[in-house]
Amino acid sequence: MDGSMKHADTIKKMSLKEKVALGSGLGYWRTKPLPRLQVPSIFLADGPHGLRKQTNQGDHLGLSASVQTTCFPTASALAASFDAGLLQAVGDALGKEALATGVNVILGPGVNMKRNPLCGRNFEYYSEDPYLSGKLAAAWIRGVQAHGVGVSLKHFACNNQETGRLGSDSLVDQRALREYYLPAFEMAVKEADPATLMCAYNKVNGTYCSDNRVLLTDILREEWGFSGLVMTDWGAMNDRVQSIKAGLDLEMPDSKGRFDREVIAAVQAGDLAEALVDQMADRVLALVERCTHQEAAGLPGDLFHQHHQLAREVAAACAVLLKNEGDILPLTAGEPLTVIGAFADTPRYQGTGSSQVNPTRLSSLLEGLAEHGVAYRYAQGYRLTDEEDPELAQEALALAQEGGTLVLCIGLTELYESEGFDRTTLALPRNQTALMETLHRVNPNIVVLLTGGAPMAMPWLHQARAVLLTHLGGQAGGLAAADVLLGIKEPGGRLAESYPRQYDDVISSSYYTKTPQQVPYYESMFAGYRYFDSAGIPVAFPFGHGLSYTRFSWRDLRLVQKGTYDYEARLFLKNTGERAGAEVVQLYVAPQTGGVYRPVHELKGFQKVFLQPGEETEVTLPLNARSFAFYNESAKEWQVEEGMYVLHLGASSRDIRLSAELLLPGVKAAKSSCDPWYYDLKGVPGKQQFESIYGPYKDFVPSRKGTYHLDNNLLELAQDSRLCRILYGLIKKSLAWRIPGTADDSNPEFKMMLNTVVTSPVRALVLFRPGILNIHQVQGLVDLANGQLRQGLARLLRLKK
């Protein structure tokens, strides 16, 4: 037995069955205990922005009730803070709440890149930039794990859409993979040592993430030095024997013994080395040991009250002032104020899906205004659906005509953003935009309070004098919005993703989610500002944008060399306004070497600086070899090209205040042998362009009768199976019974759950509770769809084991 294993002595005492059992969960949220050897079970819970601990049997999509915990702003909001210290404070709070509620591992953070603004789960991810995402994730992880609570960095890797996510194949060229889609994971692993990492559902370049040895061992463990446990997303296991060979340790939830039996059989047949099972068991034992020395006795009695106040501070620090014409904000005390919009009274504070939190309190904007003694008139204005309501609109119009400043609360409703499905448009609900048009005709002093976890189109922007983006601000977001509107707090956020003028301007807009089974990333690394800025595409608001209630001057940029590629960029920043406030200094590196294709510039440093009126400070941003390097696929290493690099210091990717040139040594610069598109970015790339950097590949061919298999989903089988169509109807009825409200696509929870079940590979049907089918019966469904009537019926009628 490998002497390097931490728990070799314990593993020697275990039977093969016991070792294998450790690698699969106990129900939805626990690992299996082994009382004979004093190995306890540990509890895992969702929690990127608040803990979702379910005390009953549970589910993995947020339908069943959970204990009350603090709901902080979602990841898309937290990233807008550009403040690693703030993220560590949120992690610290979540770690304490994990202790208070008996949670050993928090399932988060999510650092998938925002390849396209329509991804339904973008609210749960940080940014379109890997450097920002990685730095913030590392800080969050350090905050949580300081309390002996583990985290699970997710979803590894290239899970960038919800459509078909359970079985899609992300085709990504190696440079895009290394330079764009993996660095956030790499930084979090190297800088924060997460206890666990969660693999995604999808395939990457033809191999399921759960079976992908290149990702899980070659890159994650051998290159990055990850020493923790790798688990599946819930139901993401494809082939457990292959997954153990690939470096995966824990299957969640359990598959009711199916995969355990397959692993035991593989070891007994000599197809799987028992040493790999021992290694897997050792990592599970190491996780249990790491996350069971928690002490909750020292927590304050008013913990959740303190965290509600922290959530308020955090939400204000994340709010982004997009526009402020004539300095209409902050609002002047004592002036007439009209508030219109259902979100003012019924706040939308988080997204739908597995990250849903049951908050300890929920505060609205109206409560926040009342707390500060602000007199206001209020009208609901619109329904939280797309349906027009003339009566509500007329009531709002009557109030708007009375004059004064009008705060209009609009944004994306729950149906627009959710795990399980992607958005279909950047537009807001039609009834909200129609209301904006109506109100502007009678009152030009409109301040828009904008809610949403992802970019929104703003054709109405010229009708608003100010726009304050609150994202999905958590349970105290309404209080924070009032604080910022009234100038009690500064709008502390900057955009962590570009806001396009229209969806057609997004490079992947014409092909994103169009072929869910096979997803070629034609655009390579050119997503977000990397595309918009490189191609010179106008945007509504650029990456890093955000206004302040004060002003700053920037001066005297100088570079201090510490090593061959180690530099410090230093400058002086001064608050020249009359209010205290924060500026975010952003450092972009712009290669001028004329070599490999690259974005025109990339974020390689940032610092949030708080200054009093008249205060000046020196800001220092470090750079190293990776700040300038590209990934050489042939050499399989990071290299710096010799030549000129320009350093841009700015308040956004398009608001550059200071620049300096840097001449660096390195490998000889050489043009990439690829299609010209990756240099000029003209038009829209397709398969021909992509193959020049990826290599040739075969287009996906949909399965038909005679070729169906366990990776097909129920909707696909239903094309040739009446029984599968009946089963689809039964599932729909079952979900309608479980989920209150309208059981159709107007209910986001119903839509999310139905999409998840019927688009999962049918092999995953055995995981859904309560279990209806075993794996033999699922194979029977496949047989029937393939026209193998006798074999299919025999399997369907086989008794469960």
Position 643, amino acid: G
Indicate the DSSP class of residue 547: B
CA atoms of 738 and 750, how far apart (whole Å): 9
Tell me the CA distances in angstroms from 692 to 519, 678, 686, 688, one per residue in order: 17, 10, 10, 7
CA dihedral 751, 752, 754, 760 (to 10 degrees): 150
| E strand map for 344-387 | 358-359, 377-379
Neighbours of 370 (CB within 10 A): 13
- Under 8 Å between Cβ of 496 and 320: no
In DSSP notation, 348-401 reads --S-BSTT--EES----HHHHHHHTT---EEE--S-SSS---HHHHHHHHHHHT
Which residue type is seen at 254?
A: D
Q: Of 81, 83, 30, nearest to 53 (Cα)?
A: 30
The DSSP 8-state label assigned to residue 765 in this structure reads G
**Residue 385 near residue 746 (C-beta atoms within 8 A):** yes
- Residue 291 dihedral angles phi and psi, to the nearest 5°: -110, 20
Cis before 770? omega within 30: yes
Closest CA to 96 of 49, 55, 139, 149: 149
The single-letter code of the amino acid at 108 is G
In order of 375, 405, 490, the CA distances from 334 in angstroms are: 8, 11, 20
Measured distance CA(407)–CA(447) in Å, rounded: 5
Q: At what angle do helices 258-268 and 274-290 cross, to 10 degrees?
A: 140
User: How many residues appear in the chain?
Assistant: 801
Minimal CA–CA distance to 733: which of 759, 758, 710, 716? 758
Phi, psi of 792 (to 5 degrees): -65, -45
Instruction: At 758, give phi and psi (nearest 5°).
Output: -85, -10
From the list 233, 249, 278, 711, the catalytic residue is 233
Cα–Cα dist 190/213, whole Å: 19
Find out whether 753 and 61 touch, Cβ atoms under 8 Å.
yes
Q: In whole angstroms, what is the distance from residue 170 CA to residue 184 CA?
A: 18
DSSP H stretches of helix in 441-598 = 477-485, 529-535
Q: How far is CA 712 from CA 171, 440, 702, 717, 760, in A?
A: 19, 51, 9, 7, 8
CA angle (430, 434, 439) in 5-degree steps:
150
Could you give the 3-state DSSP secondary structure of residue 70? coil
The token pair that represents 351 in the structure block: 């997204």
Dihedrals phi, psi of 8, to nearest 5 degrees? -60, -40
The crossing angle, in degrees rounded to 10, of helices 303-318 and 477-485 is: 50
Determine the 3-state secondary structure of 581 from DSSP. strand
Q: Which residues pair with 661 in a beta bridge?
A: 646
Residue 169 designated active-site: no
116 φ/ψ angles, rounded to the nearest 5 degrees: -145, 140
CA distances from 790 to 7, 780, 793 (A): 50, 9, 5
Could you give the count of Cα atoms lying within 13 Å of 461 in the half-sphere of its Cβ? 17
Whole-angstrom distance, CA of residue 470 vs CA of residue 399 = 24
Q: Are strands 207-208 and 643-652 parallel, antiparallel or unpaired?
A: unpaired
The residues that bridge with 603 in the sheet, in sequence order, are 588
Any idea which residues carry the catalytic annotation?
A: 233
